[in-house]
């Protein structure tokens, strides 16, 4: 197991530096085309097949010359990940386990809710944050995902939309959230170009304001991420407003709560976005009036919303419990009374290992 502090600069040992056509920038696609003798319009066709048409193999790109298709097949695959498992929940949630080219695995989740269709993607194999309630970090972090591996999660999920009847006509993702396995702020080198391709009108074309990136709180990286020219949303996994309690919940936390809140508000002001602070509620630990009042003290009158998430039980975590619904409702009402905007995320996929990371744990 590779510990977080031992990851190389890009998070990927040399033997796992796997490349697919999905991972290539426009400049790299043009360079590849030039090396293979492809005309500029053929390079545009390649990009169209990869991102707009969602080709899984070069053989599907039927308007490319056969010679060029054979050359491309000899150089690199269109995608290097495959769907290994699909877990379907009774509420419509679909959790995908993707097998990567080096035999590692990650999860991505399709979440329908009313008129909204959200895709949750991962940024690392495993997670270094080690929140005491989360399955994602139980086996530590293996490596960062490459930009292509992040994008391929979206492409695989979009393929399923084309095949499945989700009760919508021409269903499309209304939102993408980077809230799966991993800490996105520790993989900005690969995440930023992946999101750029995702929101590129000549790529996948999802609006930047439909993308939200979640972090456990790395103020320096959050301020670096604020430097992007695209107005992504930001969600911060706060869990507690008291430094001592938060340290118990997130043992790897180094920054203070106030430093995290300040960095988040700086991001929100620069991009004119309301920041979301997420709080996973645990019975008898952070779901009482004292914890609520601490959040009010920190967040009152700020441009933000607190998203309360009653804990989803995890197979290998036995000493924690989900709070009762009446305690969750009382907590939310106390925040509202204290002039803090609140939403409550109701449990999804409960019958199919709802908590993030559990499907991967079962496969290991």
Residues annotated as catalytic are 107, 356
Give the tokens for residue 331: 């907590």
Indicate the angle between helix axes 325-337 and 289-299, nearest 10 degrees.
30
Q: How far apart are CA 16 and CA 197, in angstroms?
A: 22
The DSSP string of 290-326 is HHHHHHHHHHTTSSEEEEEEEPPP-TT--S--PPPHH
Best CA proximity match to 91, nearest among 66, 57, 114:
114
Give the tokens for residue 254: 């180094």
Best CA proximity match to 256, nearest among 277, 267, 240:
240
Q: How far apart are CA 155 and CA 148, in angstroms?
A: 10
Q: How far apart are CA 44 and CA 56, in angstroms?
A: 17
Contact call for residues 87 and 363 (beta carbons, < 8 A): no
**Which of the 8 DSSP states describes residue 339?**
T
Name the pairing type of β-strands 175-178 and 275-281.
unpaired
* Beta-carbon contacts of residue 30 (< 8 Å; ≥ 6 apart): 40, 43
Best CA proximity match to 364, nearest among 3, 1, 15, 121:
1
Helices (H), the chain: 26-36, 40-47, 66-75, 147-163, 188-198, 219-225, 243-249, 257-271, 289-299, 325-337, 358-363
How many C-beta atoms surround the C-beta of residue 341 within 10 A?
16
């Amino acid at each position: 197991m590779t510990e977080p502090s031992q990851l190389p600069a890009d998070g990927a040992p040399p033997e796992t530096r796997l490349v697919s056509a999905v991972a290539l920038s426009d400049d790299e696609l043009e360079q590849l085309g030039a090396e293979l003798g492809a005309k500029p319009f053929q390079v545009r066709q390649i990009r169209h097949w990869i991102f707009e048409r969602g080709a899984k193999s070069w053989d599907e790109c039927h308007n490319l010359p056969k010679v060029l298709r054979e050359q491309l097949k000899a150089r690199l695959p269109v995608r290097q990940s495959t769907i290994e498992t699909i877990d379907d929940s009774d509420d419509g949630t679909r959790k995908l386990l993707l097998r990567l080219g080096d035999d590692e695995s990650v999860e991505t989740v399709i979440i329908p809710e009313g008129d909204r269709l959200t895709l949750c993607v991962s940024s690392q194999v495993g997670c270094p944050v080690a929140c005491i309630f989360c399955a994602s970090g139980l086996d530590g972090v293996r490596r960062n995902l490459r930009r292509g591996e992040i994008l391929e999660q979206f492409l695989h999920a979009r393929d399923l939309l084309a095949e499945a009847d989700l009760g919508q006509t021409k269903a499309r993702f209304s939102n993408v959230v980077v809230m799966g396995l991993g800490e996105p702020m520790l993989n900005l080198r690969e995440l930023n170009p992946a999101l750029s391709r995702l929101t590129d009108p000549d790529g996948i074309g999802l609006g930047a304001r439909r993308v939200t990136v979640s972090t456990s709180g790395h103020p320096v990286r959050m301020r670096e991420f604020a430097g992007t020219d695209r107005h992504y949303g930001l969600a911060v996994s706060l869990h507690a407003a008291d430094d001592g309690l938060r340290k118990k919940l997130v043992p790897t936390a180094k920054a203070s709560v106030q430093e995290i809140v300040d960095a988040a508000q700086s991001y929100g002001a620069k991009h004119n976005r309301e920041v979301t602070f997420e709080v996973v509620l645990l019975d008898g630990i952070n779901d009482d009036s004292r914890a609520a009042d601490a959040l009010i003290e920190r967040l009152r009158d700020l441009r933000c919303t607190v998203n309360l998430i009653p804990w989803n039980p995890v197979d290998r975590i036995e000493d924690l419990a989900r709070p009762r619904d009446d305690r969750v409702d009382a907590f939310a009402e106390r925040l509202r009374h204290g002039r803090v905007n609140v939403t409550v995320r109701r449990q999804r996929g409960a019958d199919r290992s709802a908590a993030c990371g559990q499907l991967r744990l079962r496969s290991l």
